[in-house]
Amino acid sequence: MKYTLLITVFLSLTLSSVGICQKKFIKINGTADFLKDRDTVELHVFDYGIMNIASSFHEDYIFNVKDKSFNFKFRAENHPQYINLGFKNHRGRDLICYVVEAGQAIQLTYQNEKLTISGKGSNAFRLQYLLRYMHDHMVRDHSNLSESTLPKTFHQLDSGSESRLKLLESKRKNLSKSMFDFLYMDNYYADQESKYQAMRWFSSIYLDSAYNPLLNAYLKYKKSAVFSITKPVESRNTIYSNFYVEYIIEKYKVDSCLVINKGFNIYNTYKFFVQHFSGQLREEIVTSLLCNNFDYSDSFSKAISEALVLLKTPVYREAIFSLNRRGNGAIAYDFILSDVNGNLRKFHEFKDRTVVLDFWFTGCGGCRQLAPIMRRIETQFNNKPVSFISISIDNDKKQWLESIQSGLYASKEILNLYTRGEGVKDPIINTYNIKEYPTVLIINPEGKIINIDKDPLLDNGVQFIQQINNCLNK
């Protein structure tokens, strides 16, 4: 009898643990009438509350389509997570920044331009799809800000936000508590962040002006704002909300810089967050701040150095350390890339020379604007120990070769290299943390990186030329 009882207890615990393990996974399956065999579907799963930066923050899964179907299964964390689901050849169908949680088994069916969402835990996914539609419809009508339109626009955005949060509240019983709390917080802070971001974006028009008319309008709005929806209560999952972290950063940029006419300084901002926050939330804010606002100035380098001492969580340290690989004075990456003839070229071929790297892609407007400036600078350094190298992230080799021949993005006379279809996944792009195009780097004869002090588009390359000359004169 005693042994029978022990066996019963053991089996109960075993079955219970199996159930727990099963709940620790998330499944996302689907069929789509627009998919063809050998199309690829990509799933990016974010374990932390920072999206679209260091590769250490997400796991990537790729599924080769068969019979118009795709299937993903991945291990869940103990908190809601973001996912991006992308269709490589059908980008208009992508599902970006959706929240999932353990135990969900979601079925996505695309048919005749319509998406149907079903399966275990689909209530939360379906609700997000509806909330996203409401949000996109609302912001479509508010693409401009002026002194006269700002208060009205922001009040309308608040009204739309209130409608969505009320809808979310009405569906509370269909969601787990953790999912409801997370979605409420995410939607609330995404809307608040968008207003601060819009303030900064449209204020850039008045960057060289003594007067910014949006500031008075913004202060007027703040005094009259009536937002009856309850502000989210912070919980243990707050640190995993990308929008909460970005809201904090954007609010500081407006209220502590723009409103009081104080320039944004990355190091001063870093120190503010270090002093006013603690624990993992502080690490989250600091990491997001530095990863999304890099300029490789002395101020930035100072913040990077201190952050590497401050941060204790390995994944945050790894993200900041990766930024340091492109700091001034960092050792250049010894790349291996293909030239137009298919030959592999390596960086160490250019030992003891000053090297200029120009990163671009076909269709990049800024890259086309920069091309004639670069061509003039290249001519100026003819017969000098300077090598100009263009590096394209185009996925299609034929397209890249045609762009080279057109001369719209890079000179045919210089060394043109290609990431062999890897695009942004190529090690050189990740090592140098290239997030914007065009990006131009100088590498001195000692093999050390020098970041451009001023965008060549802003001063016709004057500062850029001086930096190259500094390398030659050492």
- CB 195 within 8 Å of CB 138: no
Query: Mean of the pLDDT values across residues 367-383?
Result: 94
Residues in the chain: 474
Domain boundaries, the chain: 25-120, 132-264, 336-472
* Average pLDDT of the segment spanning 386-413: 94
Q: What is the CATH number of domain 336-472?
A: 3.40.30.10
* Mean pLDDT within 231-238: 85
Average of per-residue pLDDT values in the chain: 88
Report the amino acid identity of residue 112.
N
Which of 23-27, 192-196, 262-266, 274-278 is predicted with the least confidence, judged by mean pLDDT? 23-27
* Token output for 234: 């912070």
| Residue 293 pLDDT greater than 80, yes or no | yes
Residue 190, token pair as written in the block: 């995404």
Q: What is the pLDDT of residues 66-103, one digit of tens each?
A: 999 999 999 999 999 999 999 988 888 999 999 999 99
Query: Is 7's pLDDT higher than 50?
Result: no
Q: Selecting from 3.40.1620, 2.60.40, 3.40.1350, 3.30.2000, what CATH number does the domain 25-120 have?
A: 2.60.40
Over residues 10-36, the pLDDT tens digits come to 444 444 444 444 458 999 999 999 999
C-alpha torsion sign, points 12, 18, 24, 27: negative
SS3 58: strand
Summarize the confidence of residues 374-388 as an average pLDDT. Answer: 94
pLDDT at residue 18, rounded to an integer: 43
Q: Look at residue 55 in the predicted model and tell me its pLDDT.
A: 67
pLDDT confidence of residue 332: 93
Residue 222: φ, ψ to 5°? -60, -35
User: What gap in Å lies between CA 65 and CA 411, rounded to an integer?
Assistant: 39
Tens of pLDDT along 173-213? 999 999 999 999 999 999 999 999 999 989 988 877 888 99
CA distance 275 to 309: 15
Please classify residue 42 by burial: count the beta carbons closer than 10 Å to its beta carbon, then call 0-12 exposed, 13-18 middle and 19+ buried: middle
Share of the chain above pLDDT 90, in %: 63
Helix ranges, 24-121 (H): none
Question: Could you tell me which of 44, 117, 120, 52 has the C-alpha nearest to residue 83?
Answer: 44
Question: In angstroms, rounded to a whole number, what is the distance separating the alpha carbons of residues 84 and 298?
Answer: 35
CA 78 to chain centre: 23
Name the band, by pLDDT with cuts 50, 70 and 90, for residue 54: low
pLDDT confidence of residue 233: 83
d(CA 414, CA 416): 6
Q: How sure is the predictor about 386, in pLDDT bands with cuts at 50, 70 and 90?
A: very high
For tokens 């008045």, what's the residue? Answer: 206
Owner of token pair 């890249």: 400
Strand, coil or helix: what is 286? Answer: helix
The reported pTM is 0.80
CB 48 within 8 A of CB 79: no
Tokens of 79: 């908190």
pLDDT at 162 over 60: yes
What pairs with residue 72 in β-bridges? 28
